[in-house]
Amino acid sequence: MPRQARIDTPGALHHIMVRGIERRKIFRDYKDKDHFVDRLGDILKHTSTSCYAWSLLPNHVHLLLRTGDYPIAAVMRRLLTGYAVTFNRRYKRHGQLFQNRYKSILCQEDPYFLELVRYIHLNPLRAKVVESYSNLGKHKYCGHGVILGNKKNDWQDVKYVLAFFSRKKKIAQKRYEEYVLEGIEKGRRPDLVGGGLIRSLGGWAEARKLRKDERRLKGDERILGDTQFVLDTLKESGERFERKFELRSKGYNLDTLAKRVEEIFGMEPGEIYSQGKYKRLIKPRSVFCYWSVRELDETATSLAKRLGLTQSGVSKSVSRGERIVKNMNLTLPES
């Protein structure tokens, strides 16, 4: 069965879960955890990705993130690849560190945001990594203490979380703590790891028909939200999916896209693929990367190899290209 595609849009809220292969430890000591947290903070700041909740357990990690300037897939790739390389080098091991792909759930914000913050921050207590709730607020590898003001970092968005409770910080922290305490008795929450609509129904159009018939809808593990949210999310995702095949059916591929960009910027044929960092190539390459990723669904990896760039370089070009396309009002001919 083919793997389901990631679902992501600018500003989307994601519950990320990363597990060690065969449930093995991904953190063997405090040095490993410190390295992971430092790397996480640097990447979140560089990519303008908001983080509202996080917790590190011996063999897995929970994160609550909002897509910023870079797709969540690019953020997680940098985080996990870099950490795995360092971990393997330190312990003189080879092979995979993480179990398959990390799990990413696109979440409906209104009913689930605070539930997820609480659920993620109670993980060390449920897993008995900390002995008591009072110790949770002092725990170094969880965002709970940061919200309470017991610890500090410069990459966790505490203000956004506290704003749900009060405009006054001290009152908000008190109410937040009361809210978290209420969640202890709820135990594990399997309802917070996905639900809504199953892909095998045949897409959002078929799902709408079933909804009208008031038949029971099963869940899509990529999405956490009510039926309407899931339907709307899959509809948007489906429209992007259809756009890719529409363009390909009209003969668009990387080479025809390159030709179109070269025509727009008055370049020589094949110049877009020139190796080296030239100032004259920044704009056209950025547009090329943006259209390749967003319109043809090409991967940053394949583009990096084709253009002689790094994956990070391609991601930056995509963001830059989006602004250029908008400012210059550029379009791809429909026929």
Give 30-59 pLDDT, tens digit per residue.
999 999 999 999 999 998 899 999 999 999
Please report whether residue 183 resides in a domain.
yes
Task: Indicate if the pLDDT at residue 201 is higher than 50.
Answer: no
Q: What is the CA radius of gyration of the chain?
A: 22
One domain for residues 107 and 215: no
Amino acid at residue number 129: V
One domain for residues 33 and 70: yes
pLDDT of residue 199: 37
One domain for residues 122 and 231: no
Give 204-229 pLDDT, tens digit per residue.
444 455 444 444 444 456 777 766 77
Which runs of E-coded beta strand occur in the chain?
13-19, 50-56, 60-66, 103-107, 223-224
Please report whether residue 334 resides in a domain.
no
End-of-domain residue from the set 167, 191, 215: 191
End-of-domain residue from the set 142, 166, 191: 191
One domain for residues 221 and 316: no
Please report whether residue 78 resides in a domain.
yes
pLDDT of residue 252: 85
pLDDT of residue 132: 93
One domain for residues 174 and 272: no
Please report whether residue 260 resides in a domain.
yes
Inter-axis angle of helices 282-294 and 254-264, to 10 degrees? 140
One domain for residues 165 and 273: no
One domain for residues 119 and 166: yes
One domain for residues 39 and 159: yes
> For residues 13 and 106, is the Cβ–Cβ distance under 8 A?
yes
Please report whether residue 24 resides in a domain.
yes
pLDDT of residue 305: 84
**Residue 13 bridge partners (DSSP):** 66, 107
**Domain extent at residue 144:** 13-191
Q: Which is more confidently placed, 215 or 297?
A: 297
Report, as an integer, the average pLDDT of 135-150: 96
Please report whether residue 41 resides in a domain.
yes
User: What total number of domains does the chain contain?
Assistant: 3
Closest CA to 283 of 300, 266, 308: 266
End-of-domain residue from the set 191, 207, 222: 191
One domain for residues 273 and 144: no
One domain for residues 126 and 158: yes
Task: Indicate if the pLDDT at residue 319 is higher than 70.
Answer: yes
Please report whether residue 5 resides in a domain.
no
One domain for residues 18 and 37: yes
* Domain at 113, CATH number: 3.30.70.1290
Give 65-84 pLDDT, tens digit per residue.
998 878 888 899 999 999 99
**Residue 196 bridge partners (DSSP):** none
Task: Indicate if the pLDDT at residue 293 is higher than 50.
Answer: yes
Strands 50-56 and 223-224: unpaired
Give 298-308 pLDDT, tens digit per residue.
878 788 888 88
Please report whether residue 333 resides in a domain.
no
